[in-house]
Amino acid sequence: MSQASDQLRQSPLTEITDDCAALSRGAAILGSGGGGDPYIGRLLAESAVRDHGPVPVTALEEVPDDAVVVAVAMMGAPTVMLEKLPSAEQFAAAVRALAAYRHITPTHIVCIEIGGVNSTSPIVAAAELGLPVVDADGMGRAFPEIQMVLPTLYGYSAAPMSVADEKGNQLIVDTIDNTWAERLSRTAVVEMGCSAITAQYALSGAELKKSFVPGGLSLCIRLGTAIERARAKNRDPVVAVADVLGGRILGAGKVIDIERRTTAGFARGLAHIASTDGVGDIELSFQNEHLMVTRNGSVETTAPDLIIVLDTETGEPITTEALRYGQRVRVVTAPADPRWHSPRAHRLAGPEYFHYDSAPIRFDGTEAA
């Protein structure tokens, strides 16, 4: 670990109090361009902490084997979420609906997707329900579909899952696999107006410890804090981000062309970044997330590893929707959880799944066999 990150808070996270700003900035970075605007999640989490007091945090390894853990996430279009902000009660309603259907009494709430808006969804639910939140998540980044999480690789089921909208409609989706959970909940969310709250992946503590990525909430706060401190000390915030993530700065440039088209519900796009560091222009392929970077005709990194586009000066992450002509950016690549690198995991969330003609390439440019 580098000197920069050594200086950041390393003591275990025990509760969420006033960390929501740092947390949501870190979540935007781990979103790898997707996962939705964490600003909404920040507002919701801050309001929940204001109403109910600090939310206790349990480290993943400290969750009892027989704990009953429920993951909570918003689902839909982040732009819509911003227009019809979900209520805290809606988060709790989703958990209650699932608990009633499965005849379980949840003991902990957890995050399924640490990148983006869903970093704080479990905090809102936990505050409302008076439960602790686990410092972990199901992917260590953001991906657009329900089955694209590590628990799928362990054979754990997203379903039965619940979906709750702001009008009071609720669904229980009980499916034969996680791909069907995605399909049926997605069509419901679209019909509900493109934004709803879901409770999913009700797991035992033992299953959670096996299949989740530890330390996601802490990592977000570390990342957010690293950017703030670097700026305050006139250090380079982009270097700070790369250091915290153990990643590399792939290059710097100016966005000179962006192509977007929406196909089958996905906003697919390609950004051309003209090199300003003399190393070579970068082609950035994105859908909901930044998914592939190519330089001088060779693929430098693909999902599932993280591709993060940061404002070259401020270090603020730039989402796929926010990419604009003229932006000065630096591209950082960073390792995903190692469990994302297996043939099965690659089929679930590698370049082939996103219809790119490339083998999976790790953050450091090596082939992920």
CA 254 to each of CA 17, 29, 65, 162, 257: distance values in angstroms, whole numbers, following the listed order: 38, 19, 50, 43, 9
State the helix-helix crossing angle for 38-52 and 88-102, rounded to 10 degrees.
80
Q: Which of 121, 171, 109, 113 is nearest to 146 (CA)?
A: 113
Question: Any idea what the Cα angle at residue 162 is, between residues 111 and 189, rounded to 5°?
Answer: 95
Q: How far is the CB of 143 from a second copy (least distance, A)?
A: 20
Q: How far is the CB of 349 from a second copy (least distance, A)?
A: 22
Does residue 76 sit in helix, strand or coil? strand
CA atoms of 26 and 221, how far apart (whole Å): 6
Q: How far is the CB of 180 from a second copy (least distance, A)?
A: 5
Q: How far is the CB of 89 from a second copy (least distance, A)?
A: 15
CA atoms of 254 and 256, how far apart (whole Å): 6
Cβ-based neighbours of 308, under 8 Å, separated by 6 or more: 29, 32, 33, 241, 245, 247, 290, 317, 331, 332, 333, 334
Largest CA distance in the chain: 61
Q: How far is the CB of 253 from a second copy (least distance, A)?
A: 42
Between residues 192 and 241, which has the closer beta carbon with respect to a second copy? Answer: 192
- What does the block give as tokens for 109? 């709430």
Between residues 190 and 239, which has the closer beta carbon with respect to a second copy? Answer: 190
Q: How far is the CB of 43 from a second copy (least distance, A)?
A: 26
CA atoms of 124 and 130, how far apart (whole Å): 10
Q: Which of 86, 110, 101, 111 is nearest to 173 (CA)?
A: 101
Between residues 2 and 187, which has the closer beta carbon with respect to a second copy? Answer: 187
Point out which residues pair with 159 in neighbouring strands. none
Q: Which of 313, 315, 252, 237 is nearest to 284 (CA)?
A: 252
Q: How far is the CB of 192 from a second copy (least distance, A)?
A: 7
Strands 213-214 and 133-137: antiparallel
Between residues 40 and 92, which has the closer beta carbon with respect to a second copy? Answer: 92
Q: How far is the CB of 171 from a second copy (least distance, A)?
A: 6
Q: How far is the CB of 119 from a second copy (least distance, A)?
A: 28
Between residues 64 and 160, which has the closer beta carbon with respect to a second copy? Answer: 160
Between residues 176 and 264, which has the closer beta carbon with respect to a second copy? Answer: 176
Between residues 51 and 191, which has the closer beta carbon with respect to a second copy? Answer: 191
For 107, other C-beta atoms within 10 Å of its C-beta total 17
Residues that bind a second copy (CB under 8 A): 97, 101, 167-176, 180, 183-184, 187-188, 190-192
Between residues 173 and 292, which has the closer beta carbon with respect to a second copy? Answer: 173
Between residues 39 and 180, which has the closer beta carbon with respect to a second copy? Answer: 180
